Amino acid sequence: MTDSPAPDSPAPASTAAWGELVAGLAELDTAFLSGDRAVPDEAGAVAGYRMLATLLGVAVDTYVFSDPARPQFLEAVAPHRRDRRWGGDNTDAHYLLAVVDPKRQYRVTGRPNDSVYFSLTVYNQPAPGAWSDRVVGVVNDADLDLDEDGGFELRMGPSRPADWSGPFIELTGDAFAALTRDYQGDPLAGRPVEWRIEALDEPGPVDRSDADLAAGLRSALGWLRTMFAIVPTPLAQRADDDAAGALGHQTAHAANEFAEPYRVPDLVFGWSATDACYAFGSFALADDEALVVTFTPPACRFWNLTVWNEFMAGSNAADGRTSVNLPTARVAEDGTVTAVIAHDLLDHPNAITTLGLARGNLALRFFLADEVPARPATRVVARAEVGPDVRADR
* 3 state SS of 383: helix
Closest residue by Cα to residue 264 from 110, 97, 393, 88:
88
For the chain, the 3-state helix, strand and coil shares in percent, each to the nearest 5, are: 20, 30, 50
Domain boundaries, the chain: 9-67+206-231, 69-200, 245-385
Residues in contact with 49: Cβ distance below 8 Å, sequence separation at least 6, in sequence order = 29
Domain 245-385: which CATH number of 1.10.10.10, 1.10.40.60, 3.30.465.10, 2.60.120.1600: 2.60.120.1600
**What CATH number should be reported for the domain whose range is 69-200?**
2.60.120.600
* 3 state SS of 80: coil
Please list the pLDDT of the chain residue by residue as tens digits (394 residues). 555 556 688 999 999 999 999 999 999 999 999 999 999 999 999 999 999 999 999 999 999 999 999 999 999 999 999 999 999 999 999 999 999 999 999 999 999 999 999 999 999 999 999 999 999 999 999 999 999 999 999 999 999 999 999 999 999 999 999 999 999 999 999 999 999 999 999 999 999 999 999 999 999 999 999 999 999 998 766 655 544 333 334 455 689 999 999 998 766 777 888 899 999 999 999 999 999 999 999 999 999 999 999 999 999 999 999 999 999 999 999 999 999 999 999 999 999 999 999 999 999 999 999 999 999 999 999 999 999 889 998 7
Handedness of CA 74, 77, 83, 87 (dihedral sign): positive
Type of residue found at 39: V
Q: How many CB atoms lie within 10 A of CB 143?
A: 14
Report yes or no: 86 and 57 within 8 Å, Cβ to Cβ.
no
Can you give the pLDDT at residue 8?
Answer: 83
User: Which pTM does this prediction carry?
Assistant: 0.92
Report yes or no: 291 and 337 within 8 Å, Cβ to Cβ.
no
